Amino acid sequence: MLMEAMAAARAGDRAHARDLLSRLLRGDSTNVEVWLWMSSVVDSPREKAYCLESAFRLDPTNRAALRGLVLLGARSPEEAEKVPALRLPRRGTPAYTATPRRGPSTFNWALVGASALGLVLVIGVGSVLVRLIRPFALSIAPTLPPLSPTLSSELPGVATSTPIPIETRIQRTPIPTELAGTPLAFFVPATPTSTAFLGLTPHPSFEAYGSAVAALQRGDYDQALIFLDQVLELESDRPDVHYLRGEAFRLQGRLGPAIQSYDRAVILDANYAPAYLGRGRVLLQTRPGSLPTDFDKAISLDPLLADAYLAQAAYYSDARLWKTVQDTLAGAIQAGVREPMVYIRLSEAQINSENYTEALESAIVGSANDPTLLQGYLAVGSSYVELEQFGQALWPLQTYVAYAPQDHRGWGYLGRAQLGSAQVQPALESLNHSLALNNRYAPAYLARGFAYVALGDGQAALNDFLQARRYGRESFFLDLGFARAWNLVGEFSEALRNANKAIEGSPDDRHRAEAYAARALIYESPDPPLIDDAVYTWRVLLTFADAAPETRALAEAHLLEWTGEGPTRTPTSTPTPTPPDTATPPPGLTPSGSPPALGTATPTATVTPSPSPTPTPTATPKPPGQTPI
pLDDT digits (tens, 9 = 90+) for 181-214: 555 555 554 444 444 566 666 666 678 888 888 8
What whole-number distance in Å separates Cα of residue 476 and Cα of residue 464? 16
Distant-in-sequence contacts of 198-201, Cβ < 8 A, 24+ apart: 198/274, 198/277, 198/305, 198/307, 199/240, 199/243, 199/244, 199/272, 199/273, 199/274, 199/275, 200/240, 200/244, 201/240
Q: What is the pLDDT of residue 182?
A: 56
Cα–Cα–Cα angle for 30, 34, 40, nearest 5°? 135
> Is there a contact between 445 and 435 (Cβ–Cβ < 8 Å)?
yes
> Is there a contact between 234 and 205 (Cβ–Cβ < 8 Å)?
no
Cα–Cα–Cα angle for 161, 332, 358, nearest 5°? 60
> Is there a contact between 346 and 152 (Cβ–Cβ < 8 Å)?
no
Q: Closest by alpha carbon to 305, among 342, 268, 347?
A: 342
Burial class (CB in 10 A: 0-12, 13-18, 19+), 253: exposed
Which among 29-38, 42-51, 179-188, 544-553 has the top mean pLDDT? 544-553
> Is there a contact between 371 and 172 (Cβ–Cβ < 8 Å)?
yes
Higher pLDDT, 364 or 65: 364
> Backbone phi, then psi, for 71, in 5-degree steps?
-60, -35
> Is there a contact between 305 and 341 (Cβ–Cβ < 8 Å)?
no
CA distances from 583 to 254, 528, 626 (A): 74, 13, 9
> Is there a contact between 452 and 464 (Cβ–Cβ < 8 Å)?
yes
> Backbone phi, then psi, for 350, in 5-degree steps?
-70, -35
Higher pLDDT, 472 or 144: 472
- Report the range of poorest mean pLDDT among 322-326, 566-570, 593-597: 593-597
- Whole-structure pTM over 0.85, yes or no? no
> Is there a contact between 96 and 75 (Cβ–Cβ < 8 Å)?
no
> Is there a contact between 487 and 523 (Cβ–Cβ < 8 Å)?
no
Q: What is the pLDDT of residue 187?
A: 53
Q: What is the pLDDT of residue 31?
A: 87
CA distances from 602 to 261, 499, 506, 593, 598 (A): 62, 16, 24, 7, 8
In this prediction, residues 331-348 reach a mean pLDDT of 94
Confidence class of residue 504 from pLDDT cuts 50, 70 and 90?
very high
Q: What is the pLDDT of residue 51?
A: 87
- Can you list the positions of beta strands (E) in 515-559? none
Indicate the length of the chain as a whole number: 629
> Backbone phi, then psi, for 261, in 5-degree steps?
-70, -45
> Is there a contact between 608 and 625 (Cβ–Cβ < 8 Å)?
yes
In this prediction, residues 324-333 reach a mean pLDDT of 95
